[in-house]
Amino acid sequence: MTTVFLETTGERHAMLVGGVTALERKVREAAKQGASRVIVAAPPIAVARPFPIEVRFAPGADAPEGASIERADVIAGIELVDEAARQRAEWAVIRTMNKSFEGPVDALINWRVSMRITRLLARRSLAVTPNHVTILAIMVGLFASVLAQRADYLGFAFAGVLLEVNSILDSVDGELARLRWQYSKIGQWLDNLSDDIVDNVFIAAIGYALGGWWLTLGLAAAGGRLLVAVTTYVSVYRRTGTGDVFAFRWWFESDKVTADDVYDPKALTTWLRSLGRRDTYVFLWMIACVALLPHWVVVHGAVIAMVNVSLLLLHFIVYRK
């Protein structure tokens, strides 16, 4: 049995860091690293959720032989001596909540907004959940589509900006889930499905606003993207039992074990694929809408759909062989 012995000063371990106590954060990190038991050299404190492993409070106790000794009041290398230190530790933790394989716009721009929203929401303890954020993002995205149908400059401009807000909130729900360990299968499905619903409705709305053959092209683009999305979900669910689209592998990626392998920042294919990453194309769509070039949204959506449908056909041909 791997044991972690946590020392602390006063009740610093009860400070909230990212919406949960420093103690819970240390216990969950210990569990993730393989510990099966934690001994806390302090009186018990109230916790909002059950600990994932055995936790025993033993004020004044000495560390048992072989135990790993750590500080319960040190988070991200920062000792929680006061409120200023707590805030620094909280931000340091939040800054690690991005995905290691995030897209370029998320990595360079969106995090500057999303992580500040995540920090604000985390201070509300466990009241605001990632699913709440996802639902809000869906509403914002669909409202963007409603505005896009106005077919005037203000309609397109505000629609583009709101779609980018949707993309930022799409980062917030994941950051919040990782920050507070609020994962769920429902949340995973809701998060992924919401992206496809919002994007495809938005493309169709822009096509409707432009009218004529643009509507036909917009509907075809949305339909092609929907076909690929459904096929991807079915494939992933059969293989993993989840809705994690990052677990999908094309035939030429069968040797890639993790998403980090697929989206290796050193690989040229990763940068080429970034044009099809949601954070990138939503940002480009926003610029196109603000610049009164909504046609780009439909064309870009159609190109992505054509490329993905072609890859899908090749995928089936290769696997049938």
pLDDT at residue 168 in the model: 97
Residue 99 — pLDDT band, cuts 50, 70, 90?
Answer: confident
Q: What is the pLDDT of residue 244?
A: 85
Q: Which residues pair with 75 in a beta bridge?
A: 78
* Ranges 126-140, 155-169, 302-316, most confident: 155-169
Residue bearing the bigger pLDDT, 121 or 48: 121
Q: Which two tokens stand for residue 193?
A: 């499905």
**pLDDT over 60 at 305, yes or no:** yes
Q: Which CATH number fits domain 104-320: 1.25.10.10, 3.40.190.10, 1.10.3720.10, 1.20.120.1760?
A: 1.20.120.1760
The burial of 26, by beta-carbon neighbours within 10 Å (0-12 exposed, 13-18 middle, 19 or more buried), is given as: buried
Question: How sure is the predictor about 124, in pLDDT bands with cuts at 50, 70 and 90?
Answer: low
- Determine the pLDDT at residue 125: 64
What is the phi/psi pair of residue 320, to 5°?
Answer: -70, -25
What pLDDT score was predicted for residue 320? 64
* pLDDT for 164 beyond 60: yes
User: Residue 16's CB: how many other CB atoms inside 10 A?
Assistant: 15
Domain parsing of the chain, residue ranges: 3-94, 104-320
- Return contacts of 153-157, CB within 8 angstroms, 24+ apart: 153/292, 155/209, 156/206, 156/209, 156/289, 156/290, 156/292, 156/294, 157/289, 157/290, 157/292
